[in-house]
Amino acid sequence: MTVPEPQHPVTGLDDVVHQRVRLGILTIAHEARRVEFVYLRTQLGLTAGNLSQHLAVLETAGLVEVEKGYEGKRGRTWVSLTAAGNTALAEEITRLKQLIARVETTAGQ
């Protein structure tokens, strides 16, 4: 019986999480615990429509929770990471670290 070769770390990257904007959303939400829509839009340099589309993908995947409400008379939208989102982000970071380690160990060869 042969032991299968371990898969390359890139095979474990999650397409929902790994996309640049969505990875940014998850990272900022992780840092802030609860982040306002306008702050995300500004930090990531997105239009409101583009950010909304990415949030919808993440919300459908169960990685973020979107909460709408009011601050004074102004409507606000807040985004927070779910437990699944926290796990997905941690797994993505682990895979990225594995990729970096592979590149660094072969860089001088």
Fold (CATH) for 13-100: Arc Repressor Mutant, subunit A (1.10.10)
Q: How confident is the model at residue 106 (pLDDT cuts 50, 70, 90)?
A: confident
Distance, CA of 1 to CA of 4 (rounded, Å):
9
As a whole number, mean pLDDT of residues 49-62 equals 97
25: tokens are 């959303």
- Who contacts 77 (Cβ-Cβ below 8 Å, separation ≥6)? 36, 37, 66, 67, 68
pLDDT, position 46 = 97
User: In the chain, what are the domain boundaries?
Assistant: 13-100
Cα 101 from Cα 95, distance rounded (Å) = 10
Q: In percent, how much of the chain has pLDDT > 90?
A: 70
Phi and psi at residue 71, to the nearest 5°: -125, 105
pLDDT at 95 over 70: yes
Which pTM does this prediction carry? 0.86
